[in-house]
Amino acid sequence: GAGVSQSPSNKVTEKGKDVELRCDPISGHTALYWYRQSLGQGLEFLIYFQGNSAPDKSGLPSDRFSAERTGGSVSTLTIQRTQQEDSAVYLCASRGGGAVQETQYFGPGTRLLVL
Amino acid sequence: QKEVEQNSGPLSVPEGAIASLNCTYSDRGSQSFFWYRQYSGKSPELIMSIYSNGDKEDGRFTAQLNKASQYVSLLIRDSQPSDSATYLCAVKGPGGSYIPTFGRGTSLIVHP
């Protein structure tokens, strides 16, 4: 009965470096989301995966951000050439399939600090 | 542009009082509404969902939805200090793509 897990829990990097953030959704959940939350701000949608459909990337702030989901399970969010404004908590959420399964379950997040 | 508006607060209430949190949304076709609680430094957790006009009660929590006026509220009865958190309102529009829009959240402080 494991929930959504994310790694690393904290990441400090230097400006210009690339980072990879990982999300393990709840087993069997077909939908996976990435959000970003800056200090004192709401959740900013980044990208959404649903089953085998093409992901909805409409929330990605720039082409430095990309994400993939392998085998319909684990997802990796990659930020290239990090900037200080990328510092935030990156949250992953998963959801069971079907119209009635609308509850999103969030992981603990990865706190990214770009120096 | 879909918008979900919440008063950022903080809303301060004494222990035992009723806390009332409000949320308005811009997309008149919205169908699903959610309240999440987020403790400081933690991730959001769902506490209530509501889909039809009227009230929905779950323990000390009551969600109220008025689609005509485009607002949804959350009432917390007998507020406890442990209820102190940020409450996020999320709204999902109609259609097949499930991407809810989140408000910025209202900070609630319940003081003893």
Of B45, B99, B101, the CB nearest to A56: B99
Residue A19 pLDDT greater than 60, yes or no: yes
Asked whether the beta carbons of residue A50 and residue B100 sit closer than 8 angstroms, the reply is no
Note down pLDDT in tens along chain B; length 112 residues. Answer: 678 999 988 999 999 999 999 999 998 889 899 999 999 989 999 999 999 999 999 999 999 999 999 999 999 999 999 999 999 999 988 766 688 999 999 999 999 9
Quick count: other Cβ atoms within 10 Å of Cβ B86?
A: 22
Backbone angles phi, psi at B94, to 5 degrees: -75, 170
Tens of pLDDT, residue by residue over A65-89, are 999 998 879 999 999 999 999 999 9
CA B55 to chain centre: 13
Say if residues B92 and A48 touch (Cβ distance below 8 Å). Answer: no
pLDDT at A100 over 60: no
**CB-CB: which of B43, B46, B105 is closest to A42?**
B105
Beta carbons of B98 and A56 less than 8 Å apart? no
pLDDT at A52 over 90: no
